[in-house]
Amino acid sequence: MLKSRRGLLAAGLATAVIGVSGVVFTLNAGADQIPGTPGSSSSSAAGSPAAADATPPTDLPWGSRPHKIRKGAAGASSKTLRAAGLDAAPADQSGSTDPEDAFAPKGRTAKNTFLKSETTDIKPPQPAPSKSTSVVPPAAVSTDSTVNFLYNVGSQAAVSDGLYATMTIAKPKLATVDYHTLAELALESADGQQIVELGWNVDRTVNGDDDPHLFVYHWINQATTCYNGCGFVQYSTTVKPGDTLTYDVSKKFGIQYFNGAWWIAFDSEWIGYFPEQLWLDKSVSSFSQAGLLQVFGEVAASSTKPCTGMGNGVTPDLSTSAFIASVAYINGPSVALNIRSTTDVYAVNALSTRTFRYGGPGVC
C-alpha cells in the first residue's frame, strides 16, 4: 500500500502552513432505512495511554452483539469481495491487522464553516495500469497544487456520547487529477476543533488503488493528523482501517465514547479506538462528549468542477443513488440534521431529518 508521508503534518485555525513545501488552509465561513436498495444489511502508537481500557462496550452502538465480519483473502479486490458476498479483506498480501499511517489531504466541515481549499505538495498518483490491487508508484513532487473540497453534508449541534448511521459503500469514479472521494461520520467538539472521523474512501494516495477502503481519522486543536493511524489502537483481529471493502452495499458505521476512548464500529465489529489521552496530551481539557455531529460525502479535487463521482456517482433524485440513513445519537437528542450542499456540482435530497440521498457523477 502506498504511503505518502509528505504534506499534512500540522494546522492552525483560519490559516496555517503545513507540509514540506507548505500547505495553506483556507476556511470558508459561512427509522428511515431506505427500502429497495442493494445489499442492505445490518495500531497501537508509541506511548499509547493505558488509561483507555482495551475492552469495548458489550453491544455495538446500534444495540447488537459483535461478531466477525465475512473476511476475504488478503489482497482481494472490491470486485472479488462483491462477487463472493464478502465484507472486507486486508489490502495487501501480508494480511496484517496492524494499521499503518497514511498522509494525504483531508477536508472538514463545522457548524457554519467548511474547509474550502488547501495547497499541497502531494500529487495524485495515476491509476494502476492493470488490476486494481496493484500498488501505484509515488507521483513526482513538483510545485504546490490546490486541493478543493466539496461536500454534501448533514449536521447538528448536539451533546452526545456518539453517533451511528447506515451508509452506502460505493466505488465512484476518481478522476486521474483528483485526490479522493469518500463518505463519513464525524463526531466533533462544539467548536469543531476536536474531531473523530470514520468512513470509506477511494483515494489512490492513501490506498494505492481505485477500490473503496475503510478509514479512520482525527483532528486535535483543528490540526491534521493522518489516515488510519497516528495514535489509533487496533482491537479487531479481523478487519482494520485501510482494508478493502465490498461495494454496492449498505453497512453500519459508528463512533462511541467508552471508558476513556472513542471506539470505532463497522458492520458487526469493534475495530479499535482513539484514546482520549491523545487530546489530553495536547492540552485539550477534555474530549469525552460530542457537541457537533456530522455525516457527509466529500470530494477532494484539483478544480472546483471535478469529474470525480460522489456517493455512487448517481444523482440523488434517483432511487439508486447513495444514501446516509437512519442517523442516530447515543445518549443524545432527537436527530434533526441540517442537510445541505456546499457546491452546485453535487446535490442532496433530504428524505427526512435523519436520512438523505446525495452525490452525483461530477461535471463530466
Residue 1, domain member (yes or no): no
Domain that holds residue 238: 17-359
pLDDT bucket at 133, cuts 50 / 70 / 90:
very low
Residue 3, domain member (yes or no): no
- Averaged confidence pLDDT in the chain: 86
Q: What CATH number does the domain containing 36 carry? A: 2.60.120.200
Residue 172, domain member (yes or no): yes
Residue 173, domain member (yes or no): yes
Quote the DSSP letter at residue 177: T
Res 148 pLDDT > 90: yes
Cell, residue 69 = 465480519
- Burial string for 317-347 (b: 16+ CB within 10 Å, else e) reads eeeebbbbbbbbbbebeebebebebbbebbb
Residue 28, domain member (yes or no): yes
Lowest-pLDDT choice from 29-38, 140-149, 190-199, 205-214: 29-38
Lowest-pLDDT choice from 20-29, 81-90, 323-332: 20-29
The structure's pTM equals: 0.86
Res 31 pLDDT > 50: no
Extract the runs of DSSP E, i.e. beta strands, from the chain.
17-18, 23-28, 88-89, 114-120, 145-160, 162-169, 180-188, 195-202, 213-219, 233-234, 244-245, 249-258, 261-266, 269-275, 290-301, 323-330, 338-341, 347-350, 356-359
Res 77 pLDDT > 70: yes
pLDDT bucket at 11, cuts 50 / 70 / 90:
very low
Number of domains in the chain: 1
Please tell me the distance from the alpha carbon of residue 143 to that of residue 123, in angstroms, as a whole number. Answer: 9
**Residue 254 near residue 163 (C-beta atoms within 8 A):** yes
Residue 233, domain member (yes or no): yes
pLDDT at residue 364 in the model: 87
pLDDT at residue 130 in the model: 52
pLDDT tens-digit map of 296-315 = 999 999 999 999 999 999 99
pLDDT at residue 361 in the model: 98
**Residue 24 near residue 17 (C-beta atoms within 8 A):** yes
Residue 12, domain member (yes or no): no
Residue 148, domain member (yes or no): yes
